């Protein structure tokens, strides 16, 4: 299961030549640091984004920008704006694989919506602690009763109703 929302910096031409070194240098110039395991971490005021090479058939075709799931979207918005700026400066494109398209500053809303949707899904179905907690729609109010207790109470009410109906409709005995 995915534990982060990923954006990808790629060449403007699909399957075009890609050299990660100038991009990594530019990220280091904007606050990026290399972790002990060799991964590049791009630091933002709202948090850190992990930058990893995207390999296809052993060839680096781009750099993945991994935003950890959170209930706050400032890091995602900051990365999107900085990523678009970096892509323009280095003649690259910033791709959102979840939306299957190149994204620009104007796409902050669409990217944020998709991020929140995936984060909620991860929290609800996979119990990821760093994902968003599940939210309930207005029609789903938790009354604190388990489904088993509700079933037992329904059977009890049905049995009482049947006994009352039997008493009411049965002929009098003398």
Q: Which domains does the chain have, with CATH numbers?
A: 4-126 (3.30.1400)
d(CA 156, CA 162): 10
- Which residues are CB-contacts of 118 (< 8 A; sequence separation ≥ 6)? 2, 5, 69, 98
Bridge partners for 96 per DSSP: 101
The dihedral through the CA atoms of 93, 5, 70, 142 has a sign that is positive
- Which of the residue ranges 25-29, 39-43, 125-129, 146-150 would you say has the lowest mean pLDDT? 125-129
Bridge partners for 7 per DSSP: 65
d(CA 63, CA 10): 7
pLDDT at 54: 92
CA 21 to chain centre: 29
- In 7-146, which ranges are continuous DSSP H helix? 20-29, 74-89, 108-126
Helix (H, G, I), strand (E, B) or coil at 146: coil
- Which of the residue ranges 38-47, 94-103, 128-137, 139-148 would you say has the lowest mean pLDDT? 128-137
Q: Which of 14-23, 43-52, 111-120, 154-163 has the highest mean pLDDT?
A: 43-52
The DSSP call for residue 39 is -
pLDDT at 127: 61
pLDDT at 80: 95
58 vs 65 pLDDT, higher one: 65
pLDDT at 136: 41
Q: What is the pLDDT of residues 98-139, one digit of tens each?
A: 999 999 999 999 999 999 998 888 777 766 554 554 444 444
Under the banding of pLDDT at 50, 70 and 90, the label for residue 43 is very high
């Amino acid at each position: 299961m995915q534990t982060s929302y990923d954006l990808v910096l790629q060449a403007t031409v699909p399957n075009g030549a890609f050299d990660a070194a100038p991009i990594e240098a530019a990220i280091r110039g904007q606050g990026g640091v290399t972790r002990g395991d060799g991964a590049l971490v791009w630091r933002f005021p709202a948090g850190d984004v992990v930058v990893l090479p995207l390999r296809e058939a052993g060839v680096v075709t781009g750099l993945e920008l991994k935003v950890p799931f959170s209930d706050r979207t400032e890091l995602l918005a900051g990365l999107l704006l900085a990523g678009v700026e970096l892509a323009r400066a280095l003649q690259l494109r910033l791709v959102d694989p979840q939306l299957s398209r190149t994204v620009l500053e104007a796409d902050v809303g669409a990217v944020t919506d998709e991020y929140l949707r995936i984060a909620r899904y991860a929290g609800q179905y996979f119990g990821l602690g760093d994902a968003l907690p599940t939210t309930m729609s207005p029609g789903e109010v938790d009354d604190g009763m388990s489904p088993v207790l509700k079933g037992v109470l329904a059977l009890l009410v049905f049995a009482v109703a049947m006994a009352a109906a039997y008493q009411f409709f049965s002929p009098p005995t003398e």
